[in-house]
Amino acid sequence: MTANLLPILLAAALGAGSPAAAGTPSPDEALRQRIDAYLGSIDTPIPASRWRALGPGAVPILAAVARDAAELPTWRARALAVLSLIGGDEAIEAAKGVALAEGPLLVRVEAVDSLARLVPKAELGAALGPVMARADHPGVRAAAAQALALRGTPADCPAVEAQAAAEPAPERPRYRRALEACGTVR
C-alpha cells in the first residue's frame, strides 16, 4: 500500500495535479505568451488598442524585453514603442536606461522617441537633455536633440543649439532638422 501511495505523493509535491502542470499557463505566463506572440508578429500589425488592453501588468515584461541585450533588436524596439502606448514610471525608466546604454542604434533611437511620447512636454528637457549630452553614439545624441526640438518647449532650444555646436563638424548635419525646428537654421 505504501508503494502505491508514493507516486501520488510525489505527483502532488511536483504539482502534477495543478492546472499549470496540466497545460494551463498561469496568468503571468499567459500574458508573457501573448506579448511574445505580439512582438513576433511580422505580417499582422497589432493595433494600439490590443497592446493597451494588455494593461499595466505588461509593463514589467515589456521593460525587461527592452532592456535585455540578448533579445532581438526589433523586439526590443517594439517593446519600447509599446511601453510608450501604455505609459507609467517604469516605462519611462526603461526608455531612459536603454537610450543611454550601449546597444543597437535602432533600439536606442526608439528609446529616445518613446521618451518623447511618454514624458510631458514641460519635463522633456530634463529627460532627454542627459541623453543628448552623454550618449556615446552621435546618432542617439542627434535623435535626442531632434525629439527635444520637435516635441519640447522653446526653452529647450538653447540646449539643442549648444549640443549641435559642440559636435564635431562631420556630425553637425544630423542636427539640421532640430535646428530648423528651433528656428536657428532657415
Residues 125, 94 share a domain: no
User: What is the per-residue pLDDT for 23?
Assistant: 67
Distance of CA 11 to the CA centre of its chain: 41
User: What is the per-residue pLDDT for 185?
Assistant: 64
Distance of CA 163 to the CA centre of its chain: 24
User: What is the per-residue pLDDT for 26?
Assistant: 81
Contacts 24+ apart (CB under 8 A), 27-31: 28/57, 31/57, 31/58, 31/61
User: What is the per-residue pLDDT for 18?
Assistant: 45
Which amino acid would we find at residue 162? Answer: A
Query: pLDDT per residue over 74-85, tens digit each?
Result: 999 999 999 999
Which whole number is the average pLDDT over 35-52? 93
> What is the grid cell recorded at 56?
499595466
User: What is the per-residue pLDDT for 57?
Assistant: 93
User: What is the per-residue pLDDT for 8?
Assistant: 42
Say how far apart CA 173 and CA 146 lie, in whole Å.
Answer: 12
Confidence of residue 103 (pLDDT cuts 50, 70, 90): very high
Q: 63 in a domain, yes or no?
A: yes
Q: 158 in a domain, yes or no?
A: yes
Q: 6 in a domain, yes or no?
A: no
User: What is the per-residue pLDDT for 137?
Assistant: 95
Q: What total of structural domains would you count in the chain?
A: 2
User: What is the per-residue pLDDT for 22?
Assistant: 53
Residues 128, 186 share a domain: yes
Residues 85, 51 share a domain: yes
- Compute the CA torsion angle 176, 182, 184, 185 (nearest 10 deg): 40
Residue 52, domain extent: 25-102
Q: 19 in a domain, yes or no?
A: no
Which of residues 68, 102, 136 is at a domain's end?
102
- Mean pLDDT score across all residues of the chain: 88
